[in-house]
Structure formats: C-alpha cells, structure tokens
Amino acid sequence: MNSVNLSKRLQIVADYVEKGARLADIGSDHAYLPCYLAQNKQIDCAVAGEVVEGPFLNAVNEVSSLNLEETVSVRLGDGLQVLNDFDNITTITIAGVGGPLIVRILEEGKQLRKRTGQETLILQPNVNEQTVREYLMRESYAITAETILEENGKRYEIIKAKPADEKTAYNEKDLLFGPFLRQEKSSVFIAKWESEAEKTAYVIGQMEKAEQKDEEKLKELNKKLNLIEVMIK
C-alpha cells in the first residue's frame, strides 16, 4: 500500500487530531488527511465531505486506491450536511477555506443538528482568522493550541479548540493575533504582521486622500494599526 504524504500545513492539522477520533473532514479534496490518519491508525473512522463533484471523485479514487473504504467514507454534500446520526463524530477538521465560510459551515451544522457542540474543532482559515476566533468564543469554545507556518510562500494559521464549561473571555489582542501565537511571537508571526501593518497603513493613507472620508472605518483601521505596531515592536 502506498503511504500518504501530507503538506506541512496538513501535517500540523493531522498532529492536532487525537488518537481514536471519529473524524469529519469537510472540504476534504483528495481525502489526504483522513487517509493519512487511517493509515497511521490514528482514527477510528472518518467522513470525507466534498461539495464539488470533481474533488469528491478525486477523494473516492484516493480512498479506493489505498483500500481504506472500511475506515474512510467519502460523501458528496454541503458542509456538515454529509453527516448522519450514526457517525458519532468527535472531531471536525475544516482547512483551506476562508474564515467566514468556516463559520457558516459550523453554524449551519449546528442549526441542522449535525453538530452537537461537543466536538473538538481543528480549523485552518486562509483569511479572516479573527472571525473564526470570535465565533469560537461566542460558542463557548476554548482555543487549546495554535500554529502559524509558512509554506510555498503563503502563511497559514491552524487553530484547535475544545468545548468549555463556560465562555472564555478573549480580549481584542487574543482575537486578532491568537492567544498562543501572540505569546510565542515566532518569526513567521512577526513577518505576517509586519506585512499586515504595511497594507493597513497604505489603506489608511488612501482613505485619508478621499474627498469624503469614512471616519468610522479610519478610526477602526488606525486602532488596528496601533495594535499591530505595539505587538511587533
């Protein structure tokens, strides 16, 4: 049997999955993540969900070629709608999409009773990480681990969260930068926020040249820029 090799980004997601998990990997693409975890006996079972037919068929072929059909079930559908009551999912992974889409998938899953709120969540938003952290706080989840990495010229943040007995009170720095990432201040973290400071300063400069200024937006951006500058100095 061929062994699955993961990208650096997906390897960290895999490392965050606890042994014996019943996994739902949403937006699974080729199902690399659940196949890797199944091969390494890290999970009891997995559902690989895909909303687009092409990636769905890729995942079906990958699972079949590795003879993992008994462990990994590939399903076509939108978000957590691919799950049923008998799956008893304990961990949900969503990687490689925007923060607002991750929030929509999780919220729709809750409304459709496809998500109990007791699952471990491992999330890798491509953009708008703050949106994801804000949602986790509203949903009484505690962030238990975070990683920031660079791969192929792109920076990624990975967030692991578990249900908490009471709402965790994150402050604005925690939500913007990440409660663990802002303490660690890795070189990748500094590089990301130096770049973000430049972009934010440029937008502020352009807005200040406008005849009609959006004062509220300018105030918001100046506050964000100040937070970034204090964080990275």
pLDDT of residue 213: 85
Q: Can you give the three-state secondary structure of the chain, one letter per residue?
A: CCCCCCCHHHHHHHHHCCCCEEEEEECCCCCHHHHHHHHCCCEEEEEEEECCHHHHHHHHHHHHHCCCCCCEEEEECCHHHHCCCCCCCCEEEEEEECHHHHHHHHHHHHHCCCCCCCCEEEEEECCCHHHHHHHHHHCCEEEEEEEEEEECCEEEEEEEEEECCCCCCCCHHHHHHCCCHHHHCCHHHHHHHHHHHHHHHHHHHHHHHCCCCCHHHHHHHHHHHHHHHHHHC
pLDDT of residue 168: 87
Q: What does the pLDDT average to over 181-204?
A: 97
Closest CA to 56 of 77, 80, 33, 81: 77
pLDDT tens-place string over residues 36-50: 999 999 999 999 999
Question: How many other CB atoms are found less than 10 A from the CB of residue 80?
Answer: 25
pLDDT of residue 80: 97
pLDDT of residue 166: 84
Q: What confidence tier does 64 reach under pLDDT thresholds 50, 70, 90?
A: very high
CA gap 124, 143 in Å, rounded: 13
pLDDT of residue 211: 85
Tell whether the model's pLDDT for residue 134 goes beyond 70.
yes
Q: What confidence tier does 3 reach under pLDDT thresholds 50, 70, 90?
A: confident
Q: What does the pLDDT average to over 56-80?
A: 96
160, burial (CB in 10 Å: exposed 0-12, middle 13-18, buried 19+): buried
pLDDT tens-place string over residues 136-161: 999 999 999 999 999 999 999 999 99
Percentage of the chain surpassing pLDDT 70? 100
Average pLDDT, the chain: 96
**What would be the CATH architecture of the domain defined by 8-170?**
3-Layer(aba) Sandwich (3.40)
pLDDT tens-place string over residues 74-105: 999 999 999 998 999 999 999 999 999 999 99
Tell whether the model's pLDDT for residue 1 goes beyond 70.
no
Looking at the chain, the domain(s) classified CATH 3.40.50.150 span 8-170
CA gap 92, 43 in Å, rounded: 12
Q: What confidence tier does 29 reach under pLDDT thresholds 50, 70, 90?
A: confident
